Chain A
Amino acid sequence: MPQLWELTAGELRAALARGETSCRDVAQAHLERIEALDPQVRAFVTVTPDAALKQAQRWDDARSRGEALPPLAGIPVALKDNFCTTGVRTTCGSKILGDWKPPYDATAAALVREAGAVLVGKTNMDEFAMGSSTENSGLFTTRNPWDLNRVPGGSSGGSAAVVAARMAPLALGSDTGGSVRQPAALCGVVGLKPTYGRVSRYGLVAYASSLDQIGPFARNVHDAALLLNAIARHDPLDSTSAPLDTPDYTAALTGDVRGLRVGVPREYLAQGVRAEIRQAVEAALEVYRGLGAVVEETSTPHAEYALSCYYIIAPAEASSNLARYDGVRYGIRSDEGKDVLSLLETTRDLGFGAEVKHRIMLGTYTLSAGYYDAYYHRALQVRTLVKQDLDRCWERFDVLVTPTSPEVAFRIGEKSDDPLAMKLSDVCTIPVNMAGTCAVSLPCGFHDGLPIGLQVIGRPFDEGTLLRAAHAFEQATDWGSRVPAL
């Protein structure tokens, strides 16, 4: 008889529907697992046990009254700590917000609650989502459940670790340059970045507004589709929200990929990608061929410029978005502020970590008079070229397959001294954000006991085909069922 925390969201739904367990027991089991494991993993900034048990009880009461339950009733979920959650501390992994509790919910947080999911806590992240390892958190470092001396990836490292360690079956993160997909790869779970505009950004604390997108973490593609169903909505509170209906993404999981046209852009398997990663991806392509998909190499020639392009655009947008942290309306305030300028300067110096300061400085510089054309404007043009490369692929292919991360999880502290080394972690994921389309990472192997992620990229707003492709691979292999030995 499996433990409740071993079950996927889909299995928990079925067990609850059959009356084999209660929402309260499900919540309790996960809260106990969090208590047992999180002192080692350190995925959570805030755990919300009382609220979780109360919510769970509410659904049990509704069920006993014979009421129909929403699709995720009783399923535990964790949210990255850049999601505003009413009355629950929200830090964005930064000291600058202090103990701030938002007075409103992010739309995605509210939707997840309305779908019945039970919030167990807020997860650790790189500060303001800037980073690829969660080492940039201003609070503490999260560990990879597969090897506690290694990073979980970032910036949504906490959410990925929660799902990998089975502390909750579902989590949400945010992805600006790969921050859902890369930690999913390093932690051996499924992580999806929907098309830009598919999920509302209202209440997601902004990093780079033209790139940010909320995405689900889960242990399998079906669970990810369940969570996507709950959050993919047009939202009038987000003017970049796509005015589209929500299909049932679970209905797309037919298991059939015969004739699926799979493109493999050769630039993504170039040098820098470790041999073991390349081998795992080649093996995955063989699986796709075996399932009847048509696999063909292709080229996205501007992919190598996407990284530089991102490190101009994202910091530029961030320098603008982070101007609001001034010690006036929320968070900490320096007591050295005798006038407005010193209030701002000292609060920000106290509250922001090194990487955030670095990116604010970079963004401010590239936007400043005299440099705007050389850097920012040119980067926007290169963004067009990167996007056009991907747009062109959809004429010949249904999905593209690449590695997610060029390597498996690295040691904590290994890349701290080299400002560029860390950033190379995102070389395969960044072009997708630049183009605004959707992509998912799912497990495709192990190297020395550490997970390897396969990235599947889909056509804009065609998450159905994307998830079908991912699901078929998952069903033909069994990489997601291994559990870290914690």
Chain B
Amino acid sequence: MPKLSLSEVEHVALLARLRLTAEEKTGLTESLNVILGHFEALQQLDTEGVPPTTHAMVLQNVFREDAARPSLPREAFLREAPEARDEFFVVPRVVDT
């Protein structure tokens, strides 16, 4: 497995929405490479024809009646928000004009 480069770490940090300091980036590059090295062992296993397991207990199509039920009141959630106004969570501008 190829070792992770600093620029790959920066790309992953962007995907993960994490703003890392320079120190954090180098530290993470190192420790991620140690862990990734560990995963080499998995490459040696023969997994030909082995189906993947995403869930240990397989349930399918767990549905309920498509009928409206009471929810918690909106205020219950807005009350705990970092910033809220009227019925909204306040966020910075999303669309650049």
Contacts and interface: CB of A to CB of B under 8 A. Distances in A.
Interface of A: 98, 100-104, 195-197, 210, 236, 239-240, 242-243, 302, 304-305, 308-309, 311-312, 319, 323, 326-333, 337-346, 348-349, 352, 354, 357-358, 360-362, 364-365, 368, 374-375, 377-385, 387, 419-420, 434-437, 460
Interface residues of B, number: 49
Given A330-B81, A436-B55, 10 more contacts: A98-B82, A103-B79, A305-B42, A343-B92, A357-B24, A360-B18, A365-B12, A377-B52, A378-B47, A380-B53
19 contacts: A103-B79, A197-B57, A197-B59, A210-B54, A240-B55, A311-B38, A328-B91, A329-B77, A348-B18, A349-B18, A358-B32, A362-B32, A380-B53, A381-B47, A381-B50, A382-B45, A385-B45, A387-B53, A419-B31
B16 to A, nearest CB: 4
Nearest to B96: A339
A19 B43 CA distance: 64
Contact of A360 (B16, B38, B92): B16
A368 B42 contact: no
For the complex of A and B, 10 pairs with smallest distance between CB atoms: A436-B56, A380-B52, A345-B19, A103-B76, A333-B82, A381-B47, A239-B62, A344-B17, A364-B16, A381-B50
Contacts of A196: 55-57
A251 to B, nearest CB: 24
Contacts of A309: 42
B29 to A, nearest CB: 10
Interface of B is mostly: loop
A340 B51 CA distance: 40
B68 interface: no
A420 B34 contact: yes
Interface string B2-36: 00100011001101111110001000100110110
Given A340-B91, A342-B19, A352-B18, A358 B28 contact: yes
Contacts, number: 162
Nearest to A419: B31
A195 B55 CA distance: 12
Given A342-B19, A343-B92, A357-B28, A103 B35 contact: no
A327 B20 contact: no
A60 B47 CA distance: 60
A384 to B, nearest CB: 4
Contacts of A434: 53, 56
A103 B80 contact: yes
Contact of A305 (B15, B41, B81): B41
B92 A340 contact: yes
B85 interface: no
B47 A361 contact: no
Contacts of A98: 82
A88 to B, nearest CB: 12
B64 to A, nearest CB: 6
Nearest to A350: B19
A375 to B, nearest CB: 7
Given A239-B59, A368-B12, A357 B54 contact: no
Contacts of B43: 374, 378
B57 A242 contact: yes
Central interface residue in B1, B39, B62, B94, by most chain A CB within 10 Å: B39
Contacts of A437: 56
A330 B39 CA distance: 36
B76 to A, nearest CB: 4
A328 B1 CA distance: 38
Contacts of B47: 378, 381-382, 385
Contact of A349 (B20, B42, B55, B56): B20
Contacts of A383: 52-53
